[in-house]
Amino acid sequence: MGSGSTTQQGATLWLFLLVALFWGVNYPAVVLGLGYAPPLWLGFLRVVFGLGGSLLVLPLLERRMGGSERLRWRGKGYALLLGLPNSALFFGLWMIAAPVVPAGQASLLIYTFPLWVLLLAYPILGDRPTMGQIGASAVGLAGVALVGFADVSSWSAGWTPVLELLGAAVSWAVATVLMKRTFRQQEMLEANIWQLLGSAPVLLALALLEAPFTSVHWTTELLFVLLWTGILGTAVAYGLWFELLSAHRAATVSAYLFIVPVVALVAGFLVLHQGLGVPQAIGVLAVLLSIYGTHRFAPDPAGPSSRLGGVGPAPRAGS
């Protein structure tokens, strides 16, 4: 392996760890934000801040990706529709469940996402998983189950939030593989803006049905939560995520997202003082083993986008 390839892999890994940090801290930040805004208003405001932030950082991220390619109207319309599963359903279901589920467990249930991507990537993208990847993902799912389900009996809403969070994971996975299938690398950043725009009116309508706008209590803490979840956790993190997604196999790069719940658990302990029992600690170890295994058993680099750091073919055009 040449030094250029090693440098590229190192840069990609650091990029991914930055995404994991932003997304992992989102979970305790959401719990804090719920003290000042109803769930669906918090989801809508995150989209608003994320949309504004995405417009601001778009030129910088496009420069990182070596230029841009503007969407045609058909592509814009498709991206608007993808805002329903990618942001409206995803954020909506997560925010509804968040008040009754600890931040760490919520993140682990949502991050069954890589398993759903693995299952969907073959029929939609033609990315055939190896048996090793399937086995590693099963280990990761078992770890998620240990952490996520251990305390379900103590949650006031029982199994309902579990189903809501799993629904959020599936909706995000569907949108991810469809984004990968439809948009070329230079189109994904603009497509992200349009999908956020498509989700905004849906979340606004649901928020208005949930509570009046006056139920939002504007404080410095809420502003910090929205700046983190909207600017860093949506505008910057989504932009970097689509850069990674455009260059690598969806199933492989998604598997690395198993690290996000680990960040969320640590952040939940530091910010909210939410700890882990022995079963959850074993679950975290299983998740880490799953990350290693999914990368270790990825298809041979002869399929160019199989591993982080490889340069893959451009995604299918569809705009």
Q: What whole-number distance in Å separates Cα of residue 81 and Cα of residue 192? A: 11
Rounded CA gap, 27 and 11, in Å?
26
What's residue 251's pLDDT?
A: 67
Do residues 65 and 133 lie in contact, with contact meaning Cβ atoms separated by under 8 Å? no
Q: How far apart are CA 292 and CA 75, in angstroms?
A: 36
Is residue 309 assigned to a domain?
Answer: no
Residues 6+ apart with CB under 8 A from 11: none
* CA–CA dist 201, 217 (Å, integer): 21
pLDDT in tens, 9-38: 667 778 888 998 999 999 999 999 999 999
Is 39 within a domain? yes
Q: In terms of C-beta density within 10 A (0-12 exposed, 13-18 middle, 19 or more buried), how is residue 14 classed?
A: exposed
Among residues 71, 45, 46, the alpha carbon closest in space to that of 58 is found at 71
Any domain includes 308: no
pLDDT at residue 153 in the model: 58
C-beta of residue 66 within 8 angstroms of C-beta of residue 188: no
Measured between alpha carbons, how far apart are the two ends of the chain, in Å? 36
Using an 8 Å Cβ cutoff, are 88 and 202 in contact?
A: yes
110 φ/ψ angles, rounded to the nearest 5 degrees: -65, -35
pLDDT at 299: 66
Residue 114 maps to a domain: yes
132 C-beta neighbours (distance < 10 Å), count: 14
66 part of a folded domain: yes
Query: Which pLDDT tens digits describe the chain residue by residue (319 residues)?
Result: 445 555 666 677 788 889 989 999 999 999 999 999 999 999 999 999 999 999 998 888 778 766 666 888 999 999 999 999 999 999 999 999 999 888 877 888 888 888 888 888 888 887 777 788 788 878 877 877 776 666 665 555 667 888 899 999 999 999 989 998 898 877 888 999 999 999 999 999 999 999 999 999 999 999 999 999 999 999 999 888 887 877 777 766 777 777 888 888 888 888 877 766 677 678 777 877 777 776 677 665 444 443 343 333 333 433 3
DSSP, collapsed to helix, strand or coil, labels residue 252 as helix
What CA dihedral angle connects 141, 146, 151 and 153, to 10 degrees?
A: 70
In a domain, 307, yes or no: no
Is 1 inside a domain boundary? no
**148 occurs within a structural domain:** yes
- CA–CA distance, 219 with 237 (Å, rounded to integer): 24
State both tokens at 208: 């208005």
Asked whether the beta carbons of 97 and 164 are under 8 A apart, the reply is: yes
Angle at 224 between CA 219 and CA 225, to 5 degrees: 100
d(CA 161, CA 182): 31
Count of domains forming the chain: 1
Q: CA 105 to CA 144: how far, in whole Å?
A: 8
3-state SS string for 55-117: HHHHHHHHHHCCCCCCCCHHHHHHHHHHHHHHHHHHHHHHHHHHHHCCHHHHHHHHCCHHHHH
Residue 171: give the domain boundaries: 14-296
The residue with tokens 């719940």 is 261
**Cβ neighbours of 311 (radius 10 Å):** 10
